[in-house]
């Protein structure tokens, strides 16, 4: 049996997909109670383009959100009740969500799953950790209630749009952010895969311009990052603020920090047995890309008939891929924009 801090008698860890399958009867009709309000909001007229993956983007309180996710958000704000043991993984899309899900899930479940039978070998990280706006948008609010504690969940919502119960309870939030230039490039590739190629969507130059205007799901990106940053400074015990590039450089250091923050630090004996390194290895893009489960099959087929393949979440996983796509002028313009927005905050790209 491969080691992994594995304790044979511990209760087996459960990916969200398994909980969902066991509780299909709890799924309700998708909510439509806020449709009248949503219909009054400004919307992006070129919504068939990539920014919202087939759903119109609506401008809600200064944030661009795909209509479907906004439906989920509004219901979630009304009825989600957070517990002190909850752990939320928060991010702007394409900033390292999949990786953080894998790391947090395997860290939390390390004593319950052996390395050779780990759920990440048979489940995509998005099937292990539920994306909250989507669950609420698709009538799964009651399933969220039956996830055993500690519940590990994810969100792309900006901090101010989180349900009050998350902000007020002592639950924890781990936020990951990334150089916006690489986020833009990752988003561009993701959109191309989903929409079926460059001829079916905005040109790269147009995509860049929209991104710089804040026009992308959950944008503008700078507000998203800044708000979690400010809140993490105010309440470091509540929000762990991580940077994708730093984790890539020193994965073991940040894996330990993550484990400590989510309440399950590695013991000396685990460290001696290299459990941290094993988790880092299991969650590396090189490994994850190679798992059969992540090679084919859709994660979601949306109501707009958009297929999101599990493989789309693993591309290069590198720092600085923007260099092969953006001109120097484009990069400098986006950097300047972000620097201006971050000015005085102490945050640097």
321 binds ligand PAP (CB under 6 A): yes
Please, what is the minimum distance in Å from the beta carbon of residue 242 to ligand PAP? 12
317 binds ligand PAP (CB under 6 A): yes
For residue 116, count CB atoms less than 10 angstroms from its CB and return exposed for 0-12, middle for 13-18, buried for 19 or more: exposed
Q: Which range in 142-150, 158-166, 315-323, 341-349 contacts ligand PAP by CB under 6 A?
A: 315-323
Site for ligand PAP in 269-288 (CB under 6 A): 283-285, 288
Please, what is the minimum distance in Å from the beta carbon of residue 308 to ligand PAP? 8
Q: Draw the binding track, 162-201, toward ligand PAP (x: CB under 6 A; -: no contact).
A: --------------------x---x--x------------
Question: What is the C-alpha separation between 36 and 291, in angstroms, rounded?
Answer: 44
- Residue 80 in contact with residue 163, Cβ under 8 Å? yes
With CB under 6 A as the rule, give the number of residues binding ligand PAP: 22
Active-site choice (156, 189, 307, 325): 156
Site for ligand PAP in 62-121 (CB under 6 A): 91, 93-99, 102
- Residue 50 in contact with residue 195, Cβ under 8 Å? yes
- Residue 72 in contact with residue 137, Cβ under 8 Å? yes
156 counts as catalytic:
yes
Contacts of 290 by beta carbon, 8 Å cutoff, 6+ apart? none
- Residue 35 in contact with residue 141, Cβ under 8 Å? no
- Residue 344 in contact with residue 225, Cβ under 8 Å? no
Angle between helices 328-342 and 180-195 (to 10 degrees): 120
In the complex with ligand PAP, the residue whose CB is nearer, 82 or 186, is 186
> What are the residue numbers of the active site?
156
- Contact positions vs ligand PAP (CB under 6 A): 91, 93-99, 102, 182, 186, 189, 283-285, 288, 313-317, 321
């Amino acid at each position: 049996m491969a080691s992994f801090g594995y304790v044979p008698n511990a209760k087996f860890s459960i990916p969200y997909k398994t909980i969902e399958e066991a509780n299909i009867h709890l799924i309700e009709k998708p909510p439509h109670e806020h449709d009248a309000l949503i219909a009054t909001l400004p919307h992006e007229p070129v919504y068939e383009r990539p920014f919202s993956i087939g759903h119109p983007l609506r401008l809600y309180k200064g944030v661009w959100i795909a209509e479907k996710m906004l439906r989920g958000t509004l219901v979630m704000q009304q009825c989600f009740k957070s517990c002190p043991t909850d752990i939320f993984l928060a991010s702007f899309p394409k900033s390292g969500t999949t990786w953080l899900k894998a790391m947090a899930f395997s860290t939390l479940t390390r004593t319950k799953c052996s390395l050779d039978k780990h759920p990440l070998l048979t489940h995509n990280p998005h099937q292990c950790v539920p994306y909250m706006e989507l669950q609420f948008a698709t009538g799964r609010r009651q399933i969220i209630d039956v996830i055993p504690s500690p519940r590990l969940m994810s969100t792309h919502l900006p901090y101010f749009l989180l349900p009050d119960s998350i902000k007020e309870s002592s639950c924890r939030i781990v936020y990951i952010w990334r150089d916006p230039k690489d986020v833009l490039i990752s988003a561009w590739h993701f959109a191309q895969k989903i929409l079926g190629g460059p001829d079916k969507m905005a040109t790269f130059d147009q995509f860049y311009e929209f991104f710089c205007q804040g026009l992308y799901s959950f944008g503008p990106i700078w507000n998203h990052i800044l708000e979690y940053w400010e809140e993490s400074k105010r309440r470091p015990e509540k929000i762990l603020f991580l940077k994708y590039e730093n984790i890539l450089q020193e994965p073991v250091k940040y894996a330990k920090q993550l484990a400590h923050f989510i309440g399950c630090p590695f013991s000396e004996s685990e460290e001696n047995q290299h459990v941290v390194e094993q988790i880092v290895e299991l969650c590396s893009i090189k490994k994850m890309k190679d798992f059969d489960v992540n090679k084919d099959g859709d994660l979601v087929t949306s109501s707009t008939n958009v297929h999101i393949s599990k493989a789309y979440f693993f591309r290069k996983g590198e720092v600085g891929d923007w260099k092969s796509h953006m001109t120097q002028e484009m990069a400098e313009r986006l950097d300047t924009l972000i620097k201006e927005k971050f000015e005085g905050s102490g945050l640097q790209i």
